[in-house]
Amino acid sequence: MSPADSTLPNGPLLKEPHPDTRSADPAAGEGTLSPLLSVRGLCKYFPVKSKGLFQKQVGEVRAADGITFDLMPGETLGLVGESGCGKTTTGRTILRALEPTSGEVWFRLGEEGADPRLPVKDGYVDLAKLSEDQLIPLRTRMQMIFQDPFSSLNPRMTVRDIVGEPMLIHKICKGSELEDRISDMLTKVGLKPEHRTRYPHAFSGGQRQRIGIARALMMNPSLVVCDEAVSALDVSVQAQVINLLQDLQAEMGLTYIFIAHNLDVVRHICDRIAVMYAGRIVELAKTEDIFKHPQHPYTRLLLSAVPNPDPDTPMNMDFTGEVADPGNLPQGCAFAPRCPLCTEICKHDTPSLLNVSKDRYSACHHSDQLF
């Protein structure tokens, strides 16, 4: 069966509830679209070792624990949650910058599908299972944009070398063709071709972020993980860079996973939002639904910290307690110790991410009380 034949949410790759909104709704005109990315039960546990000579493993930090979602081509999915909830780990594990502990990351192939080195199934490969060699032809398709452009750009390299390096590493082009491509890309991100001879220190924070974006997009990727890509910038510069990311998405057909603390930023740029708590997705829905009617108590807690919440958004809950430690999680729902709706079941059973209403997924034993 080819991916186009697969009727989501029960396509050939899918073995569990399918937190996808768009393809499940043929009325939206997107019923035949296949996801670019299907993540299933992805886990990344970091070992906690004892001090001393033998460093025995004494525990683990469950930084990403059973992450499951679909990402449609051209979509922007926001990943939000408090510091330490596992957003960066999730992004990096999807891109295989970190080795997954378990789970599947199905990525839809383009031309690479013809590469005999790749074990292709229905037009997809499971990135989590590929060897380093098998990953090489796919590295150009997946890129990351980081929070701090100053530390992610080599201060000893000129802009030309920073932006052109990936093309040389992957032997895509060189010489005058490379120079032309660098000039084009610098223009695309709002810099000037004559900036190519300057070093990163000679740019403002916003301009440095544009250099980082140029480098990430040089290889014409399809999936880009933006990890707090605008968090370090002034508000006015943030808006410019977000607009740039949106323009480039339309122009280059990019699909984004957009990691951010700032819910206002996420609201502006994302089609859907996945709210994470202690390594798990606790709510996944269209952006508008998340803000208008959050269906997980933790989402309500996050929104209560937004300066200008929607006056119609229900917030009548009192929260107590500390953020969960992913290295020492309680039994049952990790949010239970802070949750005003907590009952006995929450202390024993970890709730799964389930389809609670149209296009909405929540992991809460009491989500019916939040309608």
Ligand X SMILES: Nc1ncnc2c1ncn2[C@@H]1O[C@H](COP(=O)(O)OP(=O)(O)OP(=O)(O)O)[C@@H](O)[C@H]1O
Q: Rule CB under 5 A: which residues touch Mg ion?
A: 88
Pick 124 or 146: Cβ nearer Mg ion: 146
Select from 215, 315, 313, 305 the least CA-distant residue to 264.
305
Q: Are 64 and 93 in contact (CB under 8 A)?
A: yes
User: Binding ligand X by CB under 6 A: which of 18, 40, 87, 215?
Assistant: 87
Among the residue ranges 16-24, 77-85, 107-115, 355-363, the one whose residues contact ligand X (CB under 6 A): 77-85
Q: CB neighbours (10 Å) of residue 153? A: 22
Contact (CB, 8 A) for 313 and 303: yes
CA dihedral 323→362→37→88, nearest 10 degrees, is: -10
Please, what is the minimum distance in Å from the beta carbon of residue 48 to ligand X?
Answer: 8
State the number of CA atoms in the 13 A half-sphere of 125 facing the CB.
26
Binders of ligand X among residues 269 to 328 (CB under 6 A) are 326
Distances in Å between the Cα of 274 and the Cα atoms of 242, 253, 287 are 19, 22, 9
Q: Which is nearer to ligand X, 203 or 258 (CB)?
A: 258
84 makes contact with ligand X (CB under 6 A): yes
Q: Which secondary-structure segment (H or E) carries 170?
A: none
Between 80 and 336, name the residue whose CB sits nearer to Mg ion: 80
- 83 lies in the site for ligand X, by CB under 6 A: yes
Rounded-to-integer distance, Cα 239 and Cα 256, Å: 17
Q: How far is the CB of 355 from Mg ion (least distance, A)?
A: 28
Stretch of residues binding ligand X (CB under 6 A), selected from 79-87, 137-145, 176-184, 316-324: 79-87
What is d(CA 241, CA 371) in angstroms, rounded to the nearest whole number?
Answer: 36
- Adjacency order of strands within the sheet including 360-362: 142-145, 223-227, 255-259, 76-80, 272-277, 280-286, 360-362, 354-357
Site membership for ligand X, residue 66 (CB under 6 A): no
Residue nearer to ligand X on the CB measure, 63 or 302: 63
* 13 forms part of the interface with ligand X (CB under 6 A): no
Of 30, 46, 134, 193, the one binding ligand X by CB under 6 A: 46
Based on the shown chain and the rule CB under 6 A, indicate whether residue 88 belongs to the binding site for ligand X. Answer: yes
Q: CA-to-CA distance for 158 and 290, rounded, in angstroms?
A: 43
In whole angstroms, how close is the CB of 278 to ligand X at the nearest point? 9
Closest contact distance (angstroms) between CB of 87 and Mg ion is 5
* Least spacing, CB of residue 112 vs ligand X, in Å: 28
Task: State the residues that interact with ligand X by CB under 6 A.
Answer: 46, 61, 63, 81, 83-89, 326
